[in-house]
Structures are given as C-alpha cells and as structure tokens.
Amino acid sequence: MTAPLLVVQDLCRTYRSRGWMGRGFVTRAVDGVSFQVMPGETLGLVGESGSGKSTTGRLVMGLEEPDAGRVVFAGTDLTALSPAARKPFRRRMQIVFQDPYAALNPRMRVGDFVEEPLVVHGLGGGAAQRREEVAGLFRTVGLDPAFMRRFPHEFSGGQRQRIGIARAIALQPEFLVADEPITALDVSIQAQIVNLFQDLQERMGLALLFIAHDLSMVRYLCNRVAVMLKGRIVEAGPTEAVFNDARHPYTRALLSAVPIPDPLRERGRRRIVFDAGGYAFPPDAALREVGGGHLVLQGAST
Ligand SMILES: Nc1ncnc2c1ncn2[C@@H]1O[C@H](COP(=O)(O)OP(=O)(O)OP(=O)(O)O)[C@@H](O)[C@H]1O
Ligand SMILES: [Mg+2]
C-alpha cells in the first residue's frame, strides 16, 4: 500500500465579518473537511459558489491558517510547523489560480515570471542554465520559447494560463492545487488546458487537487471527486461511482444540470432542484461508506 501524499483532517475555517447595521456574523467557510490525495492522483473538488472550495485550497497550501484540523503532506503535519520550517514544502506544493490575468505581473517579461521561483529557491544553476530550463518549461506547456521576452498583454487567456502553469511546475512539485484553472477561459480552450494537466501528470507523476465548476471536465480528468456544500463534503468517491450512483440530493441536483452528449437521453434529462438555502445538515451527519470507497454524508438513522 502506498501512503497518501496529502491527508486533510477535520479542517475548519470561519470568517468573522460585519454585516448590515454593523452586526457581526460568522461564516463557516470550511467546516470539518477531511480527504486524502494519493501520489499522482487527481481529486476533483466541486460545489456551488461559496461552498468553501477555494478556502480549502488556500488552507492546504498554507496561504491561510485553519482554526482547527491538520494538513499532513508526505507524512509531515504542516499546520504544526513554523513558517521557516515550512519552506522546503513550499517547493513541493504549488497553486494555479482561476484568473490568468490577475496572476501575472503586467510589467514582467513572462520568461522572468516563470524563472522567478528558480531564482528564489536558488535552483537551476547559473543564469544561462536557468534560461535553458525556462525554455524547456515553455515547451512543456506548449509555448514557443521565443515568447519568453514578451509581456503578459501580448498573450491570450489560454496562453497566460499556460504561463501560470509553467511557473507552477518550475520547481517540479509533487502536488498542485488548480483553483478553477479553466473557468475564465473560452470553452474551445478549456479542453486544451485540461489535456495539458493530464499530460503533466503522466510526465511528472503530479498529484492534483482540481477545483472546478464544470462536471464534465471533472469526470474526464479526475480519479476521485468530492462534492462540497456549505463548507462540508457531502459526497466523495471514485469519479464513476459518484457520477453513476449519486446518493446525496445535492450531488444529484448538480449532476442533473449537466447536459448529456447523447441527444435521445438529453431529451429525457430532468433537472433536480435542490434548495441549498433551506437545507440543514442532520445533527449527527457523518460521511458513511456505501461501498467501494464511495462516501455519503448521512445522519445515523438514514
Ligand atoms: N477572506 C474572506 N473573508 C470573509 N469571508 C470569506 C473570505 N473568503 C471566503 N469567504 C467566505 O467563505 C465562504 C466560502 O468561500 P470560498 O471562496 O472558499 O468558496 P468557493 O467554493 O471557492 O466559491 P466560488 O465557486 O465562488 O469560487 C463564502 O461564503 C465566502 O463569502
Ligand atoms: Mg473559489
């Protein structure tokens, strides 16, 4: 049995905000989330806007501190480490963001942007050798190394996302969080970027936490999927088990919104409505296995 690369245990994060008339309120953005990612595996994290997907990604990356819970990477509890002790792990875990426009520095040549992590971590040898390395990274993500001297505004959205990915893989990480990396792109470009992720995984043995809205891409790319609702995972398991045999009403509603490519079956598709606002978790709800690693959030009596 191989050990998991990432173990997330009972992660919690609340935000305190001031609301209308200065009244304070608390958002439970992430509320007891647990999951594992094996080396080289892709876990898809899906759920409606505000369900806590990005917060989970930031907590895993250590960009934010949890209120409770643990993030264990390659056997080490990162939440127990000082920022200095965490530094070596920064190399091994990287993140790609949704908006390739915001992620890039507009005044920096894209080659320098991709090279920066190598410089910061003192890797890649001398300047000439580093340039070669960056050229190789450009080729890996499907960009002409001649583009290295250009600025971000000279690129399309899909190309900018490739640049962001090149930077993220510069340090040869074992694990990547991709937070909606294709949502901002044209539909025609989305599949190309998903294919790039798949290609990188095969080449580098990269494990991926793929946060997404588009369930058809998740089905295509991910080995396993976890569905989030209001800060909790309501269903998780092997992708085909969850897609073919969804148990939680929220998962069923999500799946019923996905068009079916077969026109005959598409005609018979019925959308299931789920009232997330009116939904309350059963007080004793826990993820319970319904077989083959397929977990569903259920009360003890259901
Ligand atoms: N820095 C913050 N301060 C206050 N509230 C926040 C903060 N970040 C997130 N939240 C709240 O936490 C909840 C979860 O947000 P999060 O961004 O993790 O959701 P998400 O699933 O990524 O949504 P989306 O699909 O829209 O990206 C939301 O209610 C959000 O408003
Ligand atoms: Mg988000």
Specify if 1 maps to a domain: no
**Is 98 near ligand 1, meaning CB less than 6 Å away?**
no
Residue 301 alpha carbon to ligand 2 centre in Å: 33
Specify if 285 maps to a domain: yes
**25-54: pLDDT as tens digits:** 889 999 999 999 999 999 999 998 999 999
Q: Taking 80 as the threshold, does the pLDDT of residue 4 lie above it?
A: yes
Query: In three state form, how does the secondary structure of 30-77 look?
Result: EEEEEEEECCCCEEEEEECCCCCHHHHHHHHHCCCCCCEEEEEECCEE
Given pLDDT bands bounded at 50, 70 and 90, which one contains residue 302?
low
Q: Which ligand is nearest the CA of 214, by number?
A: 1
Bridge partner residues of 28 (DSSP) = 14
Out of 160-164, 207-211, 227-231, 262-266, least confident range: 262-266
Residue 175 belongs to what domain range? Answer: 6-298
**168-203: pLDDT as tens digits:** 999 999 999 999 998 888 888 899 999 999 999 999
What is d(CA 81, CA 75) in angstroms, rounded to the nearest whole number?
A: 13
Query: Mean pLDDT throughout 110-133?
Result: 91
Atom number in ligand 1 closest to CA 57:
18
Query: Mean pLDDT throughout 90-113?
Result: 89
Specify if 149 maps to a domain: yes
Mean pLDDT of the chain: 92
**Is 55 near ligand 1, meaning CB less than 6 Å away?**
yes
User: Nearest 5°: phi and psi at 301?
Assistant: -90, -15
Can you give the pLDDT at residue 266? 86
**Is 32 near ligand 1, meaning CB less than 6 Å away?**
no
Residue nearest to atom 30 of ligand 1 (CA): 50
Q: Domain containing 276 — which CATH number?
A: 3.40.50.300
**Number of domains into which the chain is organized:** 1
**Is 164 near ligand 1, meaning CB less than 6 Å away?**
no
Residue nearest to atom 28 of ligand 1 (CA): 50
Specify if 134 maps to a domain: yes
Specify if 175 maps to a domain: yes
Atom number in ligand 1 closest to CA 213:
25
